Structure 1
Protein backbone atom coordinates (compact mmCIF):
# COMPACT_ATOMS: atom_id res chain seq x y z
CA UNK A 1 0.00 0.00 0.00
CA UNK A 2 1.51 3.30 -1.13
CA UNK A 3 0.04 6.33 0.63
CA UNK A 4 0.57 9.84 -0.77
CA UNK A 5 -0.52 12.86 1.23
CA UNK A 6 -1.95 15.04 -1.54
CA UNK A 7 -3.34 17.71 0.78
CA UNK A 8 -2.48 18.26 4.45
CA UNK A 9 -4.09 21.66 5.06
CA UNK A 10 -7.37 22.92 6.40
CA UNK A 11 -10.06 24.82 4.52
CA UNK A 12 -7.78 27.75 3.54
CA UNK A 13 -4.51 25.86 3.14
CA UNK A 14 -0.97 27.09 3.82
CA UNK A 15 0.15 29.50 2.59
CA UNK A 16 -3.25 31.14 2.76
CA UNK A 17 -4.23 33.47 -0.07
CA UNK A 18 -3.55 37.10 0.84
CA UNK A 19 -1.91 36.23 4.16
CA UNK A 20 1.47 37.63 5.20
CA UNK A 21 1.70 35.96 8.61
CA UNK A 22 5.08 34.53 9.57
CA UNK A 23 3.94 30.95 8.94
CA UNK A 24 2.66 31.68 5.43
CA UNK A 25 5.78 33.69 4.60
CA UNK A 26 7.99 30.86 5.86
CA UNK A 27 6.05 28.35 3.76
CA UNK A 28 6.63 30.50 0.68
CA UNK A 29 10.32 30.92 1.46
CA UNK A 30 10.82 27.16 1.89
CA UNK A 31 8.51 26.25 -1.02
CA UNK A 32 6.32 24.19 1.29
CA UNK A 33 2.57 23.90 1.09
CA UNK A 34 -0.49 22.38 2.62
CA UNK A 35 -3.33 22.29 0.12
CA UNK A 36 -6.83 21.19 1.06
CA UNK A 37 -7.11 17.69 2.52
CA UNK A 38 -6.86 14.60 0.33
CA UNK A 39 -5.08 11.24 0.44
CA UNK A 40 -4.14 8.91 -2.43
CA UNK A 41 -3.87 5.20 -1.63
CA UNK A 42 -2.38 2.92 -4.26
CA UNK A 43 -2.74 -0.84 -4.01
CA UNK A 44 0.53 -1.82 -5.62
CA UNK A 45 -0.58 -5.46 -5.85
CA UNK A 46 -3.55 -4.69 -8.09
CA UNK A 47 -2.47 -1.38 -9.63
CA UNK A 48 -5.68 0.29 -8.41
CA UNK A 49 -5.92 3.65 -6.65
CA UNK A 50 -8.30 4.92 -3.99
CA UNK A 51 -8.85 8.62 -3.27
CA UNK A 52 -9.88 9.71 0.21
CA UNK A 53 -11.76 13.02 -0.10
CA UNK A 54 -11.89 15.15 -3.24
CA UNK A 55 -10.02 18.36 -2.53
CA UNK A 56 -10.80 21.57 -4.45
CA UNK A 57 -7.07 21.36 -5.29
CA UNK A 58 -7.60 18.01 -7.07
CA UNK A 59 -6.16 19.06 -10.45
CA UNK A 60 -3.06 20.70 -8.99
CA UNK A 61 -2.40 17.84 -6.55
CA UNK A 62 -2.55 15.14 -9.20
CA UNK A 63 -0.31 17.08 -11.56
CA UNK A 64 2.19 17.95 -8.84
CA UNK A 65 2.51 14.50 -7.27
CA UNK A 66 2.11 12.52 -10.52
CA UNK A 67 -0.16 9.89 -8.98
CA UNK A 68 -2.60 7.74 -10.92
CA UNK A 69 -6.18 8.87 -11.36
CA UNK A 70 -8.47 7.10 -8.89
CA UNK A 71 -10.43 3.94 -9.56
CA UNK A 72 -12.62 4.68 -6.53
CA UNK A 73 -13.11 7.44 -3.99
CA UNK A 74 -14.40 7.91 -0.46
CA UNK A 75 -16.05 11.10 0.79
CA UNK A 76 -15.90 11.54 4.57
CA UNK A 77 -18.26 14.52 4.86
CA UNK A 78 -19.80 17.30 2.81
CA UNK A 79 -17.71 20.33 3.74
CA UNK A 80 -16.47 21.89 0.51
CA UNK A 81 -12.77 21.29 1.18
CA UNK A 82 -13.41 17.53 1.23
CA UNK A 83 -16.04 17.26 -1.50
CA UNK A 84 -15.91 20.00 -4.10
CA UNK A 85 -12.98 18.61 -6.05
CA UNK A 86 -15.12 15.72 -7.25
CA UNK A 87 -16.15 17.67 -10.33
CA UNK A 88 -12.55 17.38 -11.53
CA UNK A 89 -13.18 13.80 -12.63
CA UNK A 90 -15.24 15.13 -15.55
CA UNK A 91 -13.69 13.77 -18.78
CA UNK A 92 -10.77 12.35 -16.77
CA UNK A 93 -12.19 9.17 -15.27
CA UNK A 94 -14.35 6.67 -17.15
CA UNK A 95 -15.92 4.95 -14.13
CA UNK A 96 -15.60 6.03 -10.52
CA UNK A 97 -17.27 4.33 -7.58
CA UNK A 98 -17.72 6.91 -4.81
CA UNK A 99 -18.27 5.42 -1.38
CA UNK A 100 -19.95 7.42 1.38
CA UNK A 101 -21.99 6.80 4.51
CA UNK A 102 -25.71 6.05 4.25
CA UNK A 103 -26.76 7.52 7.63
CA UNK A 104 -29.20 10.44 7.41
CA UNK A 105 -27.77 13.67 8.78
CA UNK A 106 -30.42 15.46 10.91
CA UNK A 107 -28.85 18.76 9.88
CA UNK A 108 -29.34 18.25 6.13
CA UNK A 109 -32.00 15.53 5.92
CA UNK A 110 -29.65 13.56 3.66
CA UNK A 111 -26.84 11.10 4.09
CA UNK A 112 -23.38 11.96 2.78
CA UNK A 113 -24.01 9.48 -0.03
CA UNK A 114 -27.30 11.20 -0.98
CA UNK A 115 -25.66 14.63 -0.97
CA UNK A 116 -22.86 13.44 -3.23
CA UNK A 117 -25.37 11.87 -5.59
CA UNK A 118 -27.55 14.99 -5.78
CA UNK A 119 -24.68 17.47 -6.05
CA UNK A 120 -22.86 15.51 -8.76
CA UNK A 121 -25.80 13.99 -10.63
CA UNK A 122 -24.38 15.39 -13.88
CA UNK A 123 -21.22 13.25 -13.71
CA UNK A 124 -22.02 10.12 -15.69
CA UNK A 125 -18.76 8.51 -14.59
CA UNK A 126 -19.68 8.67 -10.90
CA UNK A 127 -21.60 5.85 -9.25
CA UNK A 128 -22.38 6.47 -5.59
CA UNK A 129 -22.08 3.41 -3.35
CA UNK A 130 -23.79 4.04 0.02
CA UNK A 131 -22.16 2.23 2.94
CA UNK A 132 -23.18 1.48 6.50
CA UNK A 133 -20.68 2.82 9.04
CA UNK A 134 -18.75 0.21 11.03
CA UNK A 135 -19.43 -2.42 8.35
CA UNK A 136 -16.36 -3.24 6.22
CA UNK A 137 -16.55 -3.12 2.42
CA UNK A 138 -14.06 -3.87 -0.33
CA UNK A 139 -12.70 -1.63 -3.06
CA UNK A 140 -9.45 -1.56 -5.02
CA UNK A 141 -8.48 -4.85 -3.39
CA UNK A 142 -8.56 -3.22 0.05
CA UNK A 143 -10.90 -3.54 3.01
CA UNK A 144 -12.37 -0.23 4.17
CA UNK A 145 -14.47 0.66 7.19
CA UNK A 146 -16.12 4.05 7.74
CA UNK A 147 -16.34 5.07 11.40
CA UNK A 148 -18.47 7.85 12.93
CA UNK A 149 -16.54 10.74 14.46
CA UNK A 150 -17.65 14.04 16.01
CA UNK A 151 -17.55 17.14 13.81
CA UNK A 152 -20.66 19.19 14.58
CA UNK A 153 -23.01 20.20 13.16
CA UNK A 154 -22.60 17.70 10.32
CA UNK A 155 -22.07 13.96 10.38
CA UNK A 156 -18.49 13.03 9.56
CA UNK A 157 -16.49 9.83 9.32
CA UNK A 158 -12.98 8.56 9.74
CA UNK A 159 -11.86 5.35 8.16
CA UNK A 160 -9.57 2.36 8.37
CA UNK A 161 -8.04 0.90 5.20
CA UNK A 162 -6.45 -2.53 5.36
CA UNK A 163 -4.68 -4.73 2.84
CA UNK A 164 -6.13 -8.22 3.41
CA UNK A 165 -3.04 -9.85 1.90
CA UNK A 166 -0.27 -8.02 3.76
CA UNK A 167 -2.12 -6.84 6.86
CA UNK A 168 -0.95 -3.26 6.33
CA UNK A 169 -3.32 -0.73 7.91
CA UNK A 170 -3.93 2.98 7.40
CA UNK A 171 -6.26 4.85 9.76
CA UNK A 172 -7.60 8.36 9.12
CA UNK A 173 -9.48 10.20 11.85
CA UNK A 174 -11.39 12.50 9.52
CA UNK A 175 -12.31 15.98 10.78
CA UNK A 176 -13.21 15.44 14.40
CA UNK A 177 -13.07 16.52 18.00
CA UNK A 178 -11.24 14.29 20.47
CA UNK A 179 -14.56 12.69 21.48
CA UNK A 180 -14.41 9.85 18.96
CA UNK A 181 -16.78 7.03 20.00
CA UNK A 182 -15.22 3.89 21.48
CA UNK A 183 -16.58 1.68 18.69
CA UNK A 184 -14.83 3.89 16.14
CA UNK A 185 -11.59 3.92 18.15
CA UNK A 186 -11.62 0.13 18.15
CA UNK A 187 -11.71 0.07 14.33
CA UNK A 188 -9.00 2.73 14.03
CA UNK A 189 -6.68 1.04 16.54
CA UNK A 190 -3.25 -0.45 15.80
CA UNK A 191 -2.54 1.20 12.43
CA UNK A 192 0.83 1.16 10.72
CA UNK A 193 0.12 4.80 9.83
CA UNK A 194 -2.35 7.16 11.48
CA UNK A 195 -3.36 10.42 9.81
CA UNK A 196 -4.80 12.46 12.65
CA UNK A 197 -6.55 15.79 12.27
CA UNK A 198 -4.84 18.48 14.39
CA UNK A 199 -5.93 21.91 13.28
CA UNK A 200 -3.93 24.00 15.80
CA UNK A 201 -1.76 23.62 18.92
CA UNK A 202 -3.65 23.59 22.19
CA UNK A 203 -2.31 26.94 23.40
CA UNK A 204 -4.39 28.66 20.71
CA UNK A 205 -7.64 27.50 22.33
CA UNK A 206 -7.63 30.75 24.30
CA UNK A 207 -8.46 32.54 21.04
CA UNK A 208 -11.50 30.37 20.23
CA UNK A 209 -14.91 31.81 21.26
CA UNK A 210 -15.67 28.67 23.28
CA UNK A 211 -12.08 27.90 24.24
CA UNK A 212 -10.92 24.31 24.43
CA UNK A 213 -12.60 21.07 25.43
CA UNK A 214 -11.78 17.51 26.51
CA UNK A 215 -8.84 18.46 28.69
CA UNK A 216 -6.31 15.75 29.43
CA UNK A 217 -4.94 14.92 32.91
CA UNK A 218 -2.46 17.76 32.42
CA UNK A 219 -5.29 20.25 31.82
CA UNK A 220 -4.36 20.71 28.16
CA UNK A 221 -7.35 20.88 25.75
CA UNK A 222 -7.57 18.04 23.27
CA UNK A 223 -10.32 19.74 21.27
CA UNK A 224 -10.18 23.21 19.74
CA UNK A 225 -13.67 24.61 20.23
CA UNK A 226 -16.09 21.78 19.50
CA UNK A 227 -15.17 20.23 16.14
CA UNK A 228 -11.40 19.81 15.65
CA UNK A 229 -8.60 18.17 17.59
CA UNK A 230 -5.64 20.11 18.86
CA UNK A 231 -2.13 18.85 18.18
CA UNK A 232 -2.00 17.57 21.74
CA UNK A 233 -5.35 15.83 21.37
CA UNK A 234 -4.27 14.13 18.15
CA UNK A 235 -1.03 12.90 19.74
CA UNK A 236 -2.90 11.61 22.79
CA UNK A 237 -5.26 9.73 20.47
CA UNK A 238 -2.30 8.29 18.56
CA UNK A 239 -0.90 6.91 21.81
CA UNK A 240 -4.24 5.41 22.75
CA UNK A 241 -4.61 3.80 19.32
CA UNK A 242 -1.01 2.51 19.50
CA UNK A 243 -0.18 3.85 16.07
CA UNK A 244 3.19 2.73 14.70
CA UNK A 245 3.63 6.07 12.92
CA UNK A 246 1.56 9.25 13.12
CA UNK A 247 1.36 12.26 10.83
CA UNK A 248 -0.78 15.24 11.73
CA UNK A 249 -2.95 16.67 8.95
CA UNK A 250 -5.71 19.21 8.25
CA UNK A 251 -3.39 21.85 9.68
CA UNK A 252 -4.17 25.57 9.81
CA UNK A 253 -1.75 28.39 9.10
CA UNK A 254 -2.34 29.55 12.68
CA UNK A 255 0.50 27.30 13.89
CA UNK A 256 3.28 29.67 14.99
CA UNK A 257 6.13 29.67 12.47
CA UNK A 258 8.54 28.08 14.93
CA UNK A 259 6.21 25.07 15.28
CA UNK A 260 4.50 24.93 11.90
CA UNK A 261 6.84 22.57 10.05
CA UNK A 262 8.18 20.43 12.87
CA UNK A 263 7.51 16.67 13.12
CA UNK A 264 5.01 15.12 13.23
CA UNK A 265 3.18 17.87 11.30
CA UNK A 266 2.79 16.69 7.71
CA UNK A 267 3.31 18.63 4.48
CA UNK A 268 1.99 17.86 1.01
CA UNK A 269 3.72 15.22 -1.05
CA UNK A 270 4.81 12.89 1.72
CA UNK A 271 4.77 9.22 0.65
CA UNK A 272 4.54 6.15 2.88
CA UNK A 273 4.80 2.48 1.93
CA UNK A 274 2.89 0.18 4.27
Structure 2
Protein backbone atom coordinates (compact mmCIF):
# COMPACT_ATOMS: atom_id res chain seq x y z
CA UNK A 1 0.00 0.00 0.00
CA UNK A 2 1.20 3.51 -0.84
CA UNK A 3 -0.29 6.42 1.11
CA UNK A 4 0.07 10.01 -0.09
CA UNK A 5 -0.93 12.95 2.08
CA UNK A 6 -2.68 15.26 -0.38
CA UNK A 7 -3.32 17.90 2.29
CA UNK A 8 -2.50 18.17 6.00
CA UNK A 9 -3.99 21.54 6.95
CA UNK A 10 -7.03 22.61 8.90
CA UNK A 11 -10.14 24.21 7.38
CA UNK A 12 -8.41 27.52 6.56
CA UNK A 13 -5.23 25.92 5.28
CA UNK A 14 -1.75 27.26 6.00
CA UNK A 15 -0.85 30.03 5.37
CA UNK A 16 -4.08 31.64 6.56
CA UNK A 17 -5.40 34.57 4.53
CA UNK A 18 -4.20 37.83 6.06
CA UNK A 19 -2.00 36.21 8.71
CA UNK A 20 1.64 37.22 9.10
CA UNK A 21 2.71 34.87 11.91
CA UNK A 22 6.04 33.06 11.60
CA UNK A 23 4.29 29.87 10.42
CA UNK A 24 2.31 31.60 7.69
CA UNK A 25 5.46 33.44 6.57
CA UNK A 26 7.63 30.31 6.71
CA UNK A 27 9.59 29.36 3.58
CA UNK A 28 9.69 25.69 4.64
CA UNK A 29 7.54 23.76 2.13
CA UNK A 30 6.29 21.57 4.99
CA UNK A 31 4.52 24.60 6.48
CA UNK A 32 2.39 25.05 3.34
CA UNK A 33 -0.69 22.98 4.14
CA UNK A 34 -3.68 22.45 1.87
CA UNK A 35 -6.98 21.14 3.26
CA UNK A 36 -6.81 17.61 4.62
CA UNK A 37 -7.08 14.60 2.29
CA UNK A 38 -5.25 11.33 1.67
CA UNK A 39 -4.76 9.06 -1.36
CA UNK A 40 -4.39 5.29 -1.15
CA UNK A 41 -2.96 2.96 -3.77
CA UNK A 42 -3.96 -0.46 -2.48
CA UNK A 43 -4.69 -3.80 -4.16
CA UNK A 44 -4.40 -2.14 -7.54
CA UNK A 45 -7.01 0.50 -6.68
CA UNK A 46 -6.76 4.29 -6.41
CA UNK A 47 -8.91 5.66 -3.58
CA UNK A 48 -9.13 9.15 -2.05
CA UNK A 49 -10.52 9.92 1.41
CA UNK A 50 -12.16 13.39 1.36
CA UNK A 51 -12.12 15.93 -1.47
CA UNK A 52 -11.71 19.39 0.01
CA UNK A 53 -11.50 22.78 -1.70
CA UNK A 54 -7.94 22.04 -2.91
CA UNK A 55 -8.80 18.70 -4.54
CA UNK A 56 -7.98 19.71 -8.12
CA UNK A 57 -4.62 21.21 -7.15
CA UNK A 58 -3.74 18.15 -5.07
CA UNK A 59 -4.47 15.50 -7.71
CA UNK A 60 -2.65 17.51 -10.36
CA UNK A 61 0.38 17.87 -8.08
CA UNK A 62 0.47 14.13 -7.41
CA UNK A 63 -0.41 13.17 -11.01
CA UNK A 64 -3.33 10.98 -9.96
CA UNK A 65 -4.64 10.17 -13.42
CA UNK A 66 -7.08 7.45 -12.34
CA UNK A 67 -9.49 7.32 -9.41
CA UNK A 68 -11.57 4.27 -8.50
CA UNK A 69 -13.54 5.70 -5.56
CA UNK A 70 -14.06 8.65 -3.24
CA UNK A 71 -14.76 8.06 0.47
CA UNK A 72 -15.97 10.74 2.90
CA UNK A 73 -15.31 10.96 6.63
CA UNK A 74 -18.04 13.58 7.19
CA UNK A 75 -19.88 16.44 5.54
CA UNK A 76 -17.92 19.58 6.46
CA UNK A 77 -16.99 21.76 3.51
CA UNK A 78 -13.24 21.49 3.98
CA UNK A 79 -13.72 17.77 3.25
CA UNK A 80 -16.33 17.89 0.46
CA UNK A 81 -15.97 21.17 -1.45
CA UNK A 82 -13.90 19.68 -4.28
CA UNK A 83 -16.30 16.94 -5.32
CA UNK A 84 -17.27 18.77 -8.53
CA UNK A 85 -13.78 18.13 -9.89
CA UNK A 86 -14.36 14.40 -10.20
CA UNK A 87 -15.85 15.36 -13.60
CA UNK A 88 -12.39 14.98 -15.08
CA UNK A 89 -12.31 11.34 -14.00
CA UNK A 90 -15.81 10.78 -15.38
CA UNK A 91 -14.71 12.06 -18.78
CA UNK A 92 -11.42 10.16 -18.72
CA UNK A 93 -12.73 6.86 -17.37
CA UNK A 94 -16.17 6.97 -19.01
CA UNK A 95 -17.97 5.81 -15.87
CA UNK A 96 -19.73 7.13 -12.79
CA UNK A 97 -17.59 7.74 -9.71
CA UNK A 98 -18.41 5.52 -6.70
CA UNK A 99 -18.87 7.78 -3.66
CA UNK A 100 -18.99 6.18 -0.21
CA UNK A 101 -20.35 8.00 2.85
CA UNK A 102 -22.82 7.67 5.67
CA UNK A 103 -26.43 8.35 4.72
CA UNK A 104 -26.45 11.68 6.59
CA UNK A 105 -23.42 12.81 4.60
CA UNK A 106 -24.92 11.70 1.30
CA UNK A 107 -28.07 13.69 2.10
CA UNK A 108 -25.94 16.78 2.72
CA UNK A 109 -24.11 16.26 -0.57
CA UNK A 110 -27.44 16.05 -2.40
CA UNK A 111 -28.44 19.43 -0.95
CA UNK A 112 -25.12 21.13 -1.66
CA UNK A 113 -24.66 19.59 -5.12
CA UNK A 114 -28.29 19.59 -6.22
CA UNK A 115 -27.29 19.89 -9.87
CA UNK A 116 -25.40 16.57 -9.70
CA UNK A 117 -28.49 14.74 -8.47
CA UNK A 118 -31.11 16.60 -10.54
CA UNK A 119 -33.56 14.55 -12.56
CA UNK A 120 -32.69 16.56 -15.65
CA UNK A 121 -28.95 17.16 -15.52
CA UNK A 122 -27.02 19.90 -17.26
CA UNK A 123 -24.54 18.32 -19.69
CA UNK A 124 -21.10 17.73 -18.19
CA UNK A 125 -21.99 17.68 -14.50
CA UNK A 126 -20.24 15.05 -12.33
CA UNK A 127 -21.65 11.56 -12.52
CA UNK A 128 -21.70 9.66 -9.23
CA UNK A 129 -22.84 6.34 -7.85
CA UNK A 130 -23.57 6.93 -4.17
CA UNK A 131 -23.01 3.98 -1.84
CA UNK A 132 -24.11 4.42 1.80
CA UNK A 133 -21.90 3.26 4.65
CA UNK A 134 -24.56 1.49 6.69
CA UNK A 135 -22.62 0.53 9.81
CA UNK A 136 -20.03 2.24 11.98
CA UNK A 137 -18.78 -1.11 13.32
CA UNK A 138 -18.85 -3.58 10.41
CA UNK A 139 -16.30 -3.46 7.63
CA UNK A 140 -17.39 -2.71 4.06
CA UNK A 141 -15.86 -3.02 0.61
CA UNK A 142 -14.63 -0.06 -1.41
CA UNK A 143 -14.16 -1.46 -4.90
CA UNK A 144 -12.91 -4.73 -3.40
CA UNK A 145 -10.76 -3.13 -0.67
CA UNK A 146 -11.87 -3.77 2.91
CA UNK A 147 -12.48 -0.62 4.98
CA UNK A 148 -13.11 -0.87 8.72
CA UNK A 149 -14.99 2.25 9.94
CA UNK A 150 -13.77 3.88 13.16
CA UNK A 151 -16.42 5.99 14.92
CA UNK A 152 -15.30 9.25 16.51
CA UNK A 153 -16.86 12.52 17.64
CA UNK A 154 -16.02 15.92 16.18
CA UNK A 155 -17.51 17.96 19.05
CA UNK A 156 -21.06 16.48 18.87
CA UNK A 157 -20.90 15.44 15.21
CA UNK A 158 -20.34 11.73 14.53
CA UNK A 159 -17.52 11.26 12.02
CA UNK A 160 -15.69 8.26 10.63
CA UNK A 161 -12.09 7.28 10.41
CA UNK A 162 -11.00 4.17 8.53
CA UNK A 163 -8.66 1.25 8.99
CA UNK A 164 -7.41 -0.33 5.78
CA UNK A 165 -5.21 -3.30 6.56
CA UNK A 166 -2.51 -2.06 8.92
CA UNK A 167 -3.18 1.61 8.14
CA UNK A 168 -5.61 3.71 10.23
CA UNK A 169 -6.62 7.25 9.27
CA UNK A 170 -8.67 9.51 11.51
CA UNK A 171 -9.09 13.25 11.30
CA UNK A 172 -11.45 15.89 12.71
CA UNK A 173 -12.00 14.23 16.08
CA UNK A 174 -11.74 15.04 19.74
CA UNK A 175 -13.19 11.83 21.22
CA UNK A 176 -12.65 8.13 20.61
CA UNK A 177 -14.51 5.47 22.57
CA UNK A 178 -12.64 2.50 24.08
CA UNK A 179 -14.25 0.33 21.38
CA UNK A 180 -12.92 2.58 18.61
CA UNK A 181 -9.46 2.60 20.13
CA UNK A 182 -9.44 -1.19 20.15
CA UNK A 183 -10.31 -1.26 16.44
CA UNK A 184 -7.25 0.93 15.82
CA UNK A 185 -4.91 -1.10 18.03
CA UNK A 186 -2.39 -3.23 16.15
CA UNK A 187 -2.16 -0.88 13.17
CA UNK A 188 1.33 -0.44 11.83
CA UNK A 189 0.64 3.21 10.91
CA UNK A 190 -1.91 5.50 12.57
CA UNK A 191 -2.74 9.02 11.42
CA UNK A 192 -4.51 11.37 13.86
CA UNK A 193 -5.48 15.03 13.82
CA UNK A 194 -3.54 17.44 16.03
CA UNK A 195 -4.79 20.98 15.58
CA UNK A 196 -2.73 23.01 18.04
CA UNK A 197 -1.32 23.01 21.58
CA UNK A 198 -4.30 24.69 23.25
CA UNK A 199 -7.53 22.84 24.04
CA UNK A 200 -10.11 22.92 21.25
CA UNK A 201 -13.83 22.17 21.22
CA UNK A 202 -13.70 19.69 18.33
CA UNK A 203 -10.11 18.61 17.64
CA UNK A 204 -7.38 16.77 19.51
CA UNK A 205 -4.51 18.89 20.75
CA UNK A 206 -0.94 17.87 20.03
CA UNK A 207 -0.56 16.29 23.46
CA UNK A 208 -3.90 14.48 23.27
CA UNK A 209 -2.97 12.96 19.91
CA UNK A 210 0.49 11.95 21.14
CA UNK A 211 -1.02 10.35 24.24
CA UNK A 212 -3.38 8.25 22.10
CA UNK A 213 -0.57 7.18 19.80
CA UNK A 214 1.63 6.31 22.77
CA UNK A 215 -1.11 4.08 24.15
CA UNK A 216 -1.83 2.39 20.81
CA UNK A 217 1.90 2.04 20.04
CA UNK A 218 1.92 1.78 16.23
CA UNK A 219 5.29 1.42 14.54
CA UNK A 220 4.73 4.87 13.05
CA UNK A 221 2.34 7.67 13.98
CA UNK A 222 1.61 10.74 11.88
CA UNK A 223 -0.25 13.93 12.76
CA UNK A 224 -2.47 15.84 10.32
CA UNK A 225 -5.18 18.54 10.17
CA UNK A 226 -2.61 20.99 11.52
CA UNK A 227 -3.24 24.71 12.01
CA UNK A 228 -0.77 27.57 11.95
CA UNK A 229 -1.24 27.77 15.73
CA UNK A 230 0.70 24.53 16.22
CA UNK A 231 4.00 26.09 15.21
CA UNK A 232 6.62 25.56 12.52
CA UNK A 233 7.11 22.01 11.35
CA UNK A 234 10.82 21.75 12.15
CA UNK A 235 10.34 23.09 15.67
CA UNK A 236 7.30 20.99 16.60
CA UNK A 237 8.99 17.78 15.48
CA UNK A 238 11.71 18.23 18.11
CA UNK A 239 9.01 17.87 20.80
CA UNK A 240 7.67 14.55 19.51
CA UNK A 241 8.48 10.95 20.42
CA UNK A 242 10.73 9.23 17.90
CA UNK A 243 7.91 7.18 16.37
CA UNK A 244 5.61 10.20 15.84
CA UNK A 245 6.09 12.69 12.99
CA UNK A 246 4.12 15.57 11.55
CA UNK A 247 2.69 14.69 8.15
CA UNK A 248 3.14 17.25 5.38
CA UNK A 249 1.63 17.77 1.95
CA UNK A 250 3.10 15.33 -0.57
CA UNK A 251 4.50 12.93 2.05
CA UNK A 252 4.39 9.32 0.81
CA UNK A 253 4.60 6.27 3.03
CA UNK A 254 4.44 2.60 2.13
CA UNK A 255 3.22 -0.47 3.98
Coarse TM-score class (shorter-chain normalised): 0.7 to 0.9
Cα shift readout 1:175-201 (whole Å, capped 9, x = no counterpart): 111x30122112222212111100012
Structure 1 residue 265 corresponds to structure 2 residue 246: yes
Q: Which runs of at least 4 in structure 1 moved beyond 6 Å after TM superposition?
A: none
Gap change, CA 1:271 and 1:152, over 3 Å in 2: same
Structure 1 residue 242 corresponds to structure 2 residue 217: yes
Paired residues of 1:38 and 1:55 also in contact (CA < 8 A): yes
Structure 1 residue 142 corresponds to structure 2 residue 145: yes
User: 2:75 is matched with which residue?
Assistant: 78
Paired residues of 2:171 and 2:224 also in contact (CA < 8 A): no
Paired residues of 1:116 and 1:128 also in contact (CA < 8 A): no
User: 1:108 is matched with which residue?
Assistant: none
Deviation at 1:121, TM superposition (A): 4.4
Match 1:114 to one of 85, 96, 107: 107
Gap change, CA 1:49 and 1:149, over 3 Å in 2: same
User: 1:181 is matched with which residue?
Assistant: 177
Paired residues of 2:193 and 2:203 also in contact (CA < 8 A): yes
SS at match of 2:35: coil
Deviation at 1:261, TM superposition (A): 6.0
| CA–CA separation in structure 1 for the residues paired with 2:137 and 2:66 | 27
User: 1:170 is matched with which residue?
Assistant: 167
TM-score (norm 1): 0.80
User: 1:128 is matched with which residue?
Assistant: 130
| CA–CA separation in structure 2 for the residues paired with 1:97 and 1:119 | 18
Match 1:256 to one of 231, 234, 244: 231
TM-score (norm 2): 0.85
User: 1:54 is matched with which residue?
Assistant: 51
Paired residues of 1:9 and 1:252 also in contact (CA < 8 A): yes
SS at match of 2:160: strand
Q: Tell me whether 114-123 or 48-57 shows the greater mean CA deviation.
A: 114-123
Paired residues of 1:62 and 1:69 also in contact (CA < 8 A): no
Deviation at 1:56, TM superposition (A): 0.7
SS at match of 1:70: coil
User: 1:157 is matched with which residue?
Assistant: 160
Where is the helix percentage greater, Structure 1 or Structure 2? 2
Report how many aligned residue pairs link the two structures.
234
The alignment yields a C-alpha RMSD, in angstroms, of 1.8
